[in-house]
Amino acid sequence: MDSNSSAYWSATLGLLTKILIVWFLVSFGAGILFAPVLNTIHLGGYPLGFWFAQQGSIYCFIALILYYAHAMNQLDRKFDVHEE
Amino acid sequence: MDLQTTTYLFVGASFALYIGIAIWARAGSTSEFYAAGGNVHPLANGMATAADWMSAASFISMAGLISNMGYGGGLFLMGWTGGYVLLAMLLAPYLRKFGKFTVPQFIGDRFYSKTASTVAVACLLTASLTYIIGQMTGVGVAFSRFLGVTNEMGIYIGMAIVFAYAVFGGMKGITYTQVAQYCVLIAAYLVPAIFISLHLTGNPIPQLGLGSNLVGQDVSLLSKLDQVVTELGFGKYTTSVPANSTLNMFVYTMSLMIGTAGLPHVIMRFFTVPTVKDARTSAGWALIFIALLYTTAPAVAAMAKMNLIGTVNAGALTNADAFAPESALVYEDRPAWMKRWETTGLLKFEDKNGDGRIQYYNDKSKDEAFNAKAEAAGWKGSELNVNADIIVLANPEIALLPDWVIALVAAGGLAAALSTAAGLLMAISSAVSHDLIKNVFNPGISDKNELLSGKISMAVAIVIAGYLGLNPPGFAAGTVALAFGIAASSLFPAIMMGIFSKKMNKEGAIAGMLAGLFITLFYVFAHKGLFFIKGTDFVDMIGGPNSFFGITPEAFGAIGALVNFAVAFAVDKVTAPPPDHIQHMVESVRVPRGSTVVTGAH
């Protein structure tokens, strides 16, 4: 693997790690593990932990995929490995 | 126009649309048959993926499950959407770059082994066939309730429709009918939800309605629901955890996520877009279209629960005494929708205390004070049995919506079941014709004959699926969980290691897949019987039900995946590394440049 490809790959892995941490925090964190604590806070008529489990985590997932697609396209260009 | 005629009109029009699209989008080559020619727009592919993914289970059953489980139902919502983040980042773009038709082909090429691809074919066939049984029974239920034909007749009609567009259109026909089916099913899901949300909370957006106050009251829908269900002895709606185990909910959610990402009929949809960049965007579109239904489902669930309890125990809803005899609904005065659903057997009333009224409550409550009150009121057990499947289908009737909404829901339920069945049939037929016939038995087969064998294997798969739908093995309910377990424990880890570990060799991958598959099947069979045959369960041998840290068999896929990874890396350590050209292949899969249109060539 030449140095450019391996730099591209480690940049990719860095991005994936960041996104997976957020992915974990909004679903397994806010939706399950910390849900009882968050339920003491209310978002409109929603207890916050319940909201994350049944609504919020899904919105975050969409944002994560869109951010991923955007950030990867930039990485592709930066390392000049994008499709012509 | 009466309800029956309206329903025929809606369902008939939707079927005519699917057939019309199928005639327009016939597949003439293997590339069109397997990958829709590789030029589907990412947005269209997102819509098709959403319809492909959202099955009879999502459309018909999920809101009912959430309605029964409350907060804990969130595991389905998070599990079945969170998997798309994994799919979008870890698998889809790389498999698109790899540029072949099927998942087993990737596993076979990457692990330079026909054994590996054959193991993958076996996993794929088991997962897809078990999954398709649920779709066929869903078609039967929807037809028998809404079109007044028998269950069997319903399945025959469903088979004929799928045959018409899947066999002739292949992936191309399926893609564009799925786009149409998505539009039908999402309209059918949203319209009643909007009506009901408006009626209960005054807010037309169900996602906001669920967090709003009830019309004319100074109390939020969710806290009112909490109060009403606890009054009837159920766990609090917004906090109840299934099986009382947070760990189980955690592992269950993880299993559904990994399983979602590993289901071949979803993965192969990403082979149809022109570029790697499009594969990434397309996953985003898919999740947006899926989320439209998945964020509405919890609102439907909570509101249906409210309406149901309000119907059978008006006292609980109006703050009057829920235990007073006159609070419960008199059976003879029950609304028309209850009578209609009683004939299907999905709604059952049994007058246990002989008072002619319907007492609906949690008769398994562990709360002594509640049990004492129920006994004092002369309640002798809950008298109403509501199958989770009817919550969505009967919802418009419960909320007294006009006939055309009920007809639309019928068309939507059929669209959901048919679109998923078609996607699964595509996965099955490509595995058989491409991975078994072409790669193993007859490598010299011509393009034309491969296309023909693809169509024949799809026709055979439809007949098998129809047969299983007509004679559902007693275990139909457990099989969908098994499909996720297999995808999570065998396919997902193998594909992921194939991309992210350059050094993973064939010995490791094969051992890992078999170990993950075996341990998952072992745990499921221990609870449910060998191949789900009653009486062959051996749960006592493993120390009683859910003996592995309280994990239920449905939730076990993630543990199977862990075993898969562990075994694969252990075996990889002690065997020879993969040849150089394979390591170069992995490197080239990791960068987008040089992607070509998907072909089957080697």
Tell me the longest C-alpha to C-alpha distance in chain B: 79
Q: What is the ipTM of this complex?
A: 0.95
In this complex, do B284 and A65 lie within 8 Å of one another by their Cβ atoms? yes
Please give the Cα distance from B463 to B479 (Å, whole number): 19
Note whether B175 and B34 are within 8 A (CB).
Answer: no
Please give the Cα distance from B77 to A27 (Å, whole number): 10
DSSP classification of residue B55: -
How far from chain centre, in Å, is Cα B567?
A: 29
pLDDT (tens digit per residue) in B466-525 = 888 787 665 545 567 778 888 999 999 999 999 999 999 999 999 999 999 999 988 888
Element (H, E) at B330: strand B329-330
- For B280, which of A28, A57, A69 is closest by C-beta distance? A69
Minimum Cα–Cα distance from B254: chain A residue? A28
pLDDT at residue B599, rounded to an integer? 65
Domain ranges of chain A: 3-78
Ordered domains of chain B (ranges, CATH): 63-303+400-590 (1.20.1730.10), 311-388 (no CATH)
- For B587, which of A1, A33, A57 is closest by C-beta distance? A1
Minimum Cα–Cα distance from B87: chain A residue? A65
pLDDT (tens digit per residue) in B268-309 = 999 888 899 999 999 999 999 999 999 999 999 999 888 888
Q: For the residues B317-330, what does the mean pLDDT come to?
A: 78
Torsion, Cα B112 B423 B174 B17, to 10 degrees, reads 180
Note whether B200 and B306 are within 8 A (CB).
Answer: yes
CA triple B495-B119-B112, angle to 5 deg: 60
Please give the Cα distance from B154 to B148 (Å, whole number): 9
Residue A1 has pLDDT above 60, yes or no: no
Query: Cα distance from B543 to chain A (closest Cα, Å)?
Result: 27
Element (H, E) at B347: strand B347-349
Residue B578 has pLDDT above 90, yes or no: yes
Task: Give the position of tokens 């002594």.
Answer: B368
Please indicate if any CB of chain B lies within 8 Å of the CB of A2: no
More confident residue, B366 or B246: B246
